[in-house]
Structure 1
């Protein structure tokens, strides 16, 4: 089966896209002055019709009353032609009626109005309406020609045939121009729709990026400040009793601050516009960094332990999600749990699914050291949702707190 060739795109020798030649001066002028074009079309009919009526009035070839009626109907037809863009069907009906009434009179210009109206229906209404109008025109002028054959100086049936042939050409030309106009209009509408969709996608992408950066900033700041505050408090408490332990705590404060600053510089580097101003980026944390993370909380006085079973996923996104979940849960335990004797971090992996559970046995204090906003748990749930997962948290019956995250669709099979 032959393959269809891709649509041809005109290009120059250098590969540059060639746009179609823009309309000329005359076409641009009439496109920008539609009312002037309508007035000109109306005058094409009205002036010869008015002159013919004056001539027949002067030579007396028609009764004055009939001549006055023809003049009034000509004025109505001229107005209909002026409104042909917005009411093409009305213009066609009026022009057809005038043509049928005066088909026996060779001085009538109703045929010109009829051709203009047929053309206008094809351009400004639809192809179907234009063919229906042509059929109605053929039937009407034929019957009118037969009915008034004896009144005409020239054969009325010949006038009917010439009117029908002229109408056919007007319809064909109008259909060609109308289809091109409707096609270009559809392309313009589609281009506008694509532009709106592009803007919407850009806004969604920006909102998603802002949400991601907010989650990352929360995790970094909440973790770092919580650990640093706890270390600083411990160093102050031990500065007289155990200067060496106090010094070690102060050193941990410095190392934690430097690590967090480097991570924040990496994160904020994506917000820079100029490439030469991009901050040096460091890799995102992975599951290999989990032991170091747990150890940093142990240094801050949290009795945390880490247990990993199964083969963890290797995907960077899944690893970052697990790391941030453990970081958030440990930060909450450090901030809110009072005198916990054990904080268990369990990571269970099996057949591409991951369960993360962080449990502490501490008692919640009446006055937490800092007030939380719930943003961390919301960010954890958003991250887990990317892998079809869920996050639950709550107080245990015997005291303590439990955070549980499930990720059934990490894309890894163990």
Structure 2
């Protein structure tokens, strides 16, 4: 026969055996009494067969014992096994007097071996201290037999083999119990890992939703503010300078297309169909994109003056934070500062890697904290990612306007 076919046959046989065992265990968990009745019925039948066939006379020391005593002893050893799993200690202690009578009268029934079954179930379910004194009690009938019939049932012939057999039964119960506890711990650990995995998935999804919400707010809010400024300027210029109005319309179209492209790239990550497509590798904005951002704000009618101190050399993630904070500050100025406002940006880069950005305006409009809190929340969340601080509020009296101050500490060296 082909060795591969033999291996396949062995695997199938093992699989069928495992499935059968699984079904039996599942049935036992659902209907424990049915299984206990079958097992107890088997032991009772075996004990009665030994009684009715006079097989007990082959091992007894006193063949003249009355039949009712042999029947009582046989049932006393076998019937209590019905409760061996629910009350193992009670079953074991209840069988001890029967075993003592069995040894003292010289009946020495083979049914007394059912003490091994009772001790096994006790080892499977009780504490070690309880098991130790139970083991000591089970030895009592064998000691009685040894003293009652020293010639035939001395220590070498009875007590020592019985003690070893009982110890083996107890150790087998302990081994099975240890195995069951180990499997139960693995199942519980697997359940905990599933719960933790689900929690991590929910947290990751919530964090991703928050990130997408921040990005959408930054993209849409800023570009709509620029478009609004351009539209207002174009409306005033339409009657006096058609060329300026046309320029404003062109700028509105360019800004709209740019916002639509950024929004489409952001929303594409939510589409399952894009998993099979090539990923869009367009990078996130960095400090080099600030000039384009500021030019767009200026085109919308907000004069912006920038002052840069030091040389920017920070990681891309920190650059994105600086870009988004400046973008949100200028957006709030466009939306809330009112006409004739100006903005001033001061960016300081230290040699240690620390960054300080201050954006002020001279507006007189409503503060952004009362009109739109999502932008300020997003700025603070981005800043907190790098252990920085963000201050946003009115400028000190009597200076008008609003001030946003960002500070990012030095970058931590790689470990």
Report the CA distance shift for 1:91/1:345 in structure 2 as closer, same or farther (over 3 A): farther
Q: Tell whether 2:24 aligns with 1:30.
A: yes
Alignment of 1:10-409 (within 5 A): 22=15, 23-24=17-18, 26-34=20-28, 35=32, 36-49=34-47, 61-62=65-66, 70=73, 73-74=76-77, 77-81=80-84, 84=85, 86-104=86-104, 105-106=106-107, 108=109, 111-125=112-126, 130=131, 133-138=134-139, 140-141=140-141, 144-145=144-145, 149=148, 155=153, 158-274=157-273, 275-277=275-277, 280-350=280-350, 351-365=352-366, 372-396=371-395, 397-398=397-398, 399-409=400-410
Deviation at 1:194, TM superposition (A): 2.0
Residue 126 of structure 1 deviates from its aligned partner by: 5.9
Counterpart residue number, 1:4: none
CA contact (8 A) 1:48 1:109 kept: no
SS of the residue 2:260 aligns to: helix
Task: Report the more deviating stretch, 106-115 or 307-316.
Answer: 106-115
- For structure 2, the residue ranges without an aligned partner over 5 or more in a row are 1-10, 55-62
Give how far 1:245 is off.
Answer: 1.3
Measure how far apart 1:166 and its partner are. 2.0
Q: 1:393 is paired with a residue of what secondary structure?
A: strand
- Cα distance, 1:146–1:356 mapped onto 2, change above 3 Å: same
Alpha-carbon separation, structure 2, partners of 1:362 and 1:236: 22
- Measured after TM superposition, the shift of residue 113 of structure 1 is 3.2
Give the CA deviation at 1:299. 1.1
Q: Distance in 1 between matches of 2:306 and 2:101?
A: 100
Alpha-carbon distance, 1:229 to partner: 1.2
Aligned partners of 2:389 and 2:97: how far apart in 1? 74
Q: Distance in 2 between matches of 1:412 and 1:113?
A: 71
For the residue of structure 2 that corresponds to 1:24, the secondary structure is: helix
RMSD (CA atoms)? 3.4
- Distance 1:344-1:75 versus aligned 2 partners, 3 A rule: same
- Asked if the contact 1:318–1:410 (Cα under 8 Å) also holds between the matched residues in 2, the reply is no
Q: How far apart are residue 284 of structure 1 and its match?
A: 0.8
Match of 1:11 in 2: none
Shift of 1:144: 4.2
TM-score, normalised by the number of residues in structure 2: 0.80
CA distance in 1, matches of 2:100, 2:389: 78
Aligned-pair CA distance for 1:107 = 5.1
Aligned pair count reads: 384
SS at match of 1:271: coil
- The alpha-carbon distance between structure 1 residues 164 and 353, as it changes in their structure 2 partners (threshold 3 A), is same
Q: Deviations over 1:47-105 (max 9, x none)?
A: 3445667789xx983496x6797578557623322xx1x44344333344543443335
**Distance in 2 (alpha carbons) for counterparts of 1:405 and 1:89:** 72
After superposition, the Cα gap between the structure-2 partners of 1:98 and 1:330, relative to the gap in structure 1 and judged at 3 Å, is farther
Match of 1:13 in 2: none
Partners of 1:253 and 1:26 in 2: CA distance? 74
CA distances 1:159-214 after superposition (whole Å, capped 9, x unpaired): 44443222122123223333333222222222222222222222211111111111
CA displacement 1:321-342 (0-9 Å, x = unmatched):
1111111111111111123543
In 2, the alpha carbon distance for the partners of 1:234 and 1:176 equals 86
Q: TM-score, normalised by structure 1?
A: 0.80
Cα 1:46–1:78 change in 2 (3 A) is: farther
Distance 1:161 1:40, change over 3 A: farther
Gaps of 5+ in 1: 1-17
Contact 1:232 1:250 in 2 (8 A): yes
* Deviation of the 1:121 alpha carbon: 3.0
- TM-superposed deviation, 1:24: 3.3
The answer to whether the Cα contact below 8 Å between 1:388 and 1:407 also exists between their aligned partners in 2 is yes
